[in-house]
A and B are shown apart, each in its own frame.
Chain A
């Protein structure tokens, strides 16, 4: 895409995050969408493009009273929203629509009106993974990490530090679910879920929603919010089965998506002021830092232990507290994007002073998909 030709002009999360038994999944989409429309000074009749995952774009468009000329139902897991941003930017540039609404809502905790997650026993994963006792992401996303630890001599203590540092960020965020400080000992002594993962190395399970509104950079000048420009984008997919991931120490989808986003943006790593890496589990930021090229293979744990990503560090990472401490409804990518937008607007709870470039990097499924967005708050 053409850098800075499209901007985020509306961004909001659902009114509440956490446990929301009073709202169904579709209403979480709508609550976030209405908040984003108000933020942008727009109404549903201004929207002519709709993208969503978890619900169909048809459902969301009809529920909100939108008549779109462009729809995108890409649903590849938690990074779907990064990919929607990428597709929306291309669509706006190509004149397929003018103003796109991207919504997420998930009753991940309360399961009110939530989509079922059926396992099809005739699918490849149903035949070749389900019979061996897998039960959701904690038993699959986690499988590669022992190989990663052996390859690079990484300790459980180092991985626990990912959770500890992110809790430091969460402490600065009034909307974070968990704000109490934790230590490496706390993490390692917390309940074992799937060795070597303790519960404090696993993301939260909450309810919530989020929405973004994008339009052309030219039109963004007439809208109330400080525009946040799309500088570069990337996407890819790898395998629907964790056992068939090419390399257990590195995600091909991360590498492909990240490389594309950096190339489109025309930036180098030292240009990046703020970074979000989707952290469904504590090893995700390690893979992300390495596969995006911020660290050499095997060096990300030392980078985090060295406080480079902590408050005061040179590369602030997951400044909302992340999926480990802020919130995680199931498809967390939307919240990573929201925090990048807040940082670029200069209104984040833990604001990185003077930040000009932010990256939000997402994962979908169990290393199955990826999307990367580079944002900038400067047009010139």
Chain B
């Protein structure tokens, strides 16, 4: 699906751990040490209780397909039609991603289907977390 040329993120001091994690094959979330809220996208404080005491945790990488569209127009780095999806991680947070390893059709992309993270290297600096149907399903 991806052919290179897609827009790539520029990490900031607050998001660096997430992108370093992706390079290391880990999906990193953050959890509040005070109220235990797990959240995404990254920031060095809890969006629920404002505590600065937060820890980086490794997500299990399991998710469900929450919603998506299948884009039919050309975009640099993509061959249409391709799905732009939002997945819900078992830890709670949702994130945007692409679904790989399955046809980009409404029949194959069923809401709430189980997914697992997979990592796709883009450059020496950036690896993106994508999701695929859970093996055996």
A interface vs B, CB < 8 Å?
Answer: 119, 121-122, 124, 126-135, 138-140, 142-147, 150, 191-197, 241-244, 248
Contacts and interface: CB of A to CB of B under 8 A. Distances in A.
Interface residues of B, number: 35
B9 interface: yes
B84 A192 contact: no
A127 B96 CA distance: 10
Contacts of B15: 124, 127
29 contacts: A121-B7, A121-B9, A122-B10, A122-B11, A122-B12, A126-B7, A128-B41, A131-B6, A132-B6, A132-B97, A132-B98, A133-B75, A135-B75, A138-B71, A139-B69, A143-B68, A146-B68, A146-B69, A146-B111, A147-B111, A193-B72, A193-B73, A194-B71, A195-B70, A196-B106, A241-B41, A243-B95, A244-B41, A248-B67
Given A132-B98, A146-B111, A248-B67, A126 B9 contact: yes
Interface in B79-114: 81-82, 84-86, 94-98, 106, 111
B20 to A, nearest CB: 13
Contacts of A122: 9-12
B94 A243 contact: yes
Given A132-B97, A139-B84, A193-B73, A145 B67 contact: yes
Interface in B1-38: 6-12, 15, 19
Contacts of A121: 7-10
Contacts of A146: 67-69, 111
B69 to A, nearest CB: 4
Contacts of A147: 66-67, 111
Contact of B11 (A127, A134, A145): A127
A319 B37 CA distance: 45
